[in-house]
Structure 1
Amino acid sequence: MKKERRGIQSVEVGGKLLTVLVDEGTPMLLRDLAQKAGMTSAKAHPYLVSFGNLGLIQQDPQSGRYELGHFALQMGLISLQRVDPVKIAIPEASLLCDRIGHTVALAVLGSSGPTIVHMNESRHAIHVRMRTGTVVSIANTATGRVFSAFLPPKQVEKLTAREVTDDTIVAGQTDKKISKKEHEALLADVRQHGMARAVGEPIAGINAISAPIFDHAGNIVLAMTIIGPMGTLDPDWNGETAVELRKSAARVSEQLGYTA
C-alpha cells in the first residue's frame, strides 16, 4: 500500500481560497470567496492576509475585491515556460489509440512544414509511409489543414506557396496543387467544425481526422491526427471518432493553459 505522506492541514485549507480564485478568474469579495471555499469570512481573512504578504493574492483598495497577486502570476509563467506540449500530449494520444483502435499521430510545425513527432500505431496495419520525422503536405492533408486554419494568415500564405495556386486547376492534373479558392473553402470548413478531415486523400483508401491543440496564449502548437482505412474510420464530423478526438485534444490544450 502507498504510504500516506504527512502534510500541513492549514496550508491545504487555505489553498482552497487560491483554487476558487483560479476557477472563478475574476476579483471576488471576501464573503463570496469564503463561501465558495466552504468557510466563514472570519476564517478566510487570516489566510488572505498571509497570502497577500507572500504576493499570492492582492486586494483592490477601492472595491475590496481579492485576486491573484504578482507572485502567483510569476509562478504561472514559469510553469508555462516549462511545459512541453509533446510530452503532455503523448499519454493522451496513447489512450486515444487504445479507445478507437486507429493510429494516432502528433505533429508540430517544423521549418519545412507540419512534421510528425510521435505515432501510436494501431493493431490494424495501414499502408502509409509515415513515421516520426515525416513532413506532410500543409494543403492536402488533414494535419496540414489544421495548421493552415489556425496559424496567422501571412504565415499560412508563405507555407502554402508551393501547394496553393491562383490559377485554375485543370481536371486530371498530376501535381498536388489546389486552387486558392478551394483552399480557403477547406479552411473555412475546418474553422467551423474545429477540426480537419481528409477522406481518401492524399492516399487512396485512407481517411484522416485532425484536431488542433492550443497553448495558453491561444496559439496552435500541435495537431493530433487519427489515421485509418476508409472502411473502418468514420470521417463524420459528429461521429464517435471525431468526438473522441475533440475531447482528447481539448484535454491537452487545457493542460497547456488554454481556455476556450
Structure 2
Amino acid sequence: MNTPEPKPEHEQRGIQSIEVGGQLLRALAHQGRPMALKDLAAAAGMAAAKAHPYLVSFGKIGLVEQDKASGRYGLGPLALQLGLMSLQQVDPVRMAAPLLDELAAETGHTLAIAVWGTAGPTIVWLAESPAAVHVNMRQGTVFSIAGTASGRAFAAHLPEALVRPFYEAERRDDTLAPWPQFERQVLAEVRAQGLSRTDGGVVAGVSALAAPVFDHRGAMVLALVIIAPSAAMDTAWDGAMARRLREAAASVSRRLGHGPAGA
C-alpha cells in the first residue's frame, strides 16, 4: 500500500478555530488599547456572540484579560510575555537584510545597513552594485555625521548628547555650520521627511538615501541606505526610490514592535 506523501507546507491543514480566534488577538494588537466586546468583535469581523467564547478561552490561558470595572478586553500576561520574548530574540540586521537584498536586485544600486557604533554610524552589511560607485566602503566603514545620509539620519533621531560630540569633532576645521544651524536646516527636514539624503554635494557624483528603523521603544536601531551614482539615482523626497526605502524601513520597524501590529 502506498503511503500518501505529506502535503507541501503551504497546503498543510491547520486548526481553523485557532485562526478565527487569532483575528481577535490581531485586532487587540492593532488597536493598542482595551476594547469592549462589541467593538473588538466588529474589528475582528465577527459577531459578539461568536467572539465571546474565544475570549473566555484566551482569558483562561492569559492571552487576554478583562477589566472587571469596565468589562473591556486587553492583552493578557501571557501575550505580553510572548511579545517580550519575541523582541529579545530579534536581530534587526538579520531581519532587514532580505528586504535590502530584494531592493538591491530590483534597483541595481548599492545597499547598506548602518548601526550606531563606538565611532559613530558604521556599516555592518553591504550589497554592492555592479555599477561603479567611487566610494571606499566595506563592513566596518564609519560614516560622517554631517556628510552622509546615514549620519544625518542618526543625528536626527538619536539623543543630541550622544551625537553632537561626533559632529563637533567634524567641525574642527570650521567648515561646517554650528550645531544649532545644522539642527535647524538639516535635521528638522530629515525628521519631517522620514528620510535623509545627500545629492552629489558631499562626494561628487554620488548620491544616497537613508531611512531610520525603530524598535519597540521608539529608539532608532539602524539605517537602511541606498548609494548610487547621482546620474542614476532619484533622490526626490516623493520619488519611487524614497517610497521603497521608507516602506522597507517601516516594515522592519513594525516587526521590531514599533507602532501598531498590522499597521
Q: TM-score, normalised by structure 1?
A: 0.90
Given the alignment, which residue of 84, 102, 113 partners 1:95? 102
Q: 1:189 to 1:10 in 2, by over 3 A?
A: closer
Instruction: Kindly indicate whether the alpha-carbon contact (under 8 Å) linking 1:208 and 1:225 is maintained by their aligned counterparts in 2.
Output: yes
Q: What is the distance in 2 between the residues matched to 1:226 and 1:207?
A: 8
The 3-state SS of whatever aligns with 2:232 is: coil
Q: Indicate the residue corresponding to 1:35 in structure 2.
A: 42
Please list, as runs of the form range in 1=range in 2, the aligned pairs for 1:1-260 lying within 5 A after superposition. Answer: 2-3=8-9, 4-164=11-171, 169=175, 177-184=176-183, 185-259=185-259
Instruction: Kindly indicate whether the alpha-carbon contact (under 8 Å) linking 2:153 and 2:190 is maintained by their aligned counterparts in 1.
Output: yes
Matched to 2:215, the amino acid is: D
Of 112-121 and 96-105, the range deviating more from structure 2: 96-105
Instruction: Kindly indicate whether the alpha-carbon contact (under 8 Å) linking 1:141 and 1:201 is maintained by their aligned counterparts in 2.
Output: no
Q: What is the distance in 2 between the residues matched to 1:129 and 1:6?
A: 51
Matched to 1:2, the amino acid is: P
Q: 1:192 to 1:6 in 2, by over 3 A?
A: closer
TM-superposed CA distance for 1:183, in Å, is 2.1
Matched to 1:215, the amino acid is: D
Structure 1 runs of 4+ with >4 Å offset = none
Matched to 2:182, the amino acid is: H
Instruction: Kindly indicate whether the alpha-carbon contact (under 8 Å) linking 2:116 and 2:122 is maintained by their aligned counterparts in 1.
Output: yes
Of 69-78 and 181-190, the range deviating more from structure 2: 181-190
Matched to 1:180, the amino acid is: W
Q: What is the distance in 2 between the residues matched to 1:198 and 1:70?
A: 46
Higher helix share: 2
Q: What is the distance in 2 between the residues matched to 1:5 and 1:240?
A: 38
Q: What is the distance in 1 between the residues matched to 2:50 and 2:191?
A: 48
Instruction: Kindly indicate whether the alpha-carbon contact (under 8 Å) linking 1:149 and 1:190 is maintained by their aligned counterparts in 2.
Output: yes
Of 247-256 and 28-37, the range deviating more from structure 2: 28-37
The 3-state SS of whatever aligns with 2:124 is: strand
Q: What is the distance in 2 between the residues matched to 1:189 and 1:7?
A: 48
TM-superposed CA distance for 1:251, in Å, is 1.2
Q: 1:135 to 1:30 in 2, by over 3 A?
A: same
Matched to 2:216, the amino acid is: H
Q: CA RMSD in A?
A: 1.9
Q: TM-score, normalised by structure 2?
A: 0.89
TM-superposed CA distance for 1:182, in Å, is 4.2
Instruction: Kindly indicate whether the alpha-carbon contact (under 8 Å) linking 1:196 and 1:209 is maintained by their aligned counterparts in 2.
Output: yes
Q: What is the distance in 1 between the residues matched to 2:27 and 2:178?
A: 50
Q: What is the distance in 1 between the residues matched to 2:131 and 2:194?
A: 27
TM-superposed CA distance for 1:245, in Å, is 1.3
The 3-state SS of whatever aligns with 2:151 is: helix
Q: Identical aligned pairs, as a percentage?
A: 52
Q: What is the distance in 1 between the residues matched to 2:66 and 2:180?
A: 53
Unaligned runs of 5+ in 1: 170-176
Instruction: Kindly indicate whether the alpha-carbon contact (under 8 Å) linking 1:80 and 1:257 is maintained by their aligned counterparts in 2.
Output: yes
Of 151-160 and 76-85, the range deviating more from structure 2: 151-160
Matched to 2:12, the amino acid is: R
Q: What is the distance in 2 between the residues matched to 1:82 and 1:29?
A: 32
The 3-state SS of whatever aligns with 1:197 is: strand
Q: What is the distance in 2 between the residues matched to 1:244 and 1:6?
A: 35
TM-superposed CA distance for 1:43, in Å, is 2.7
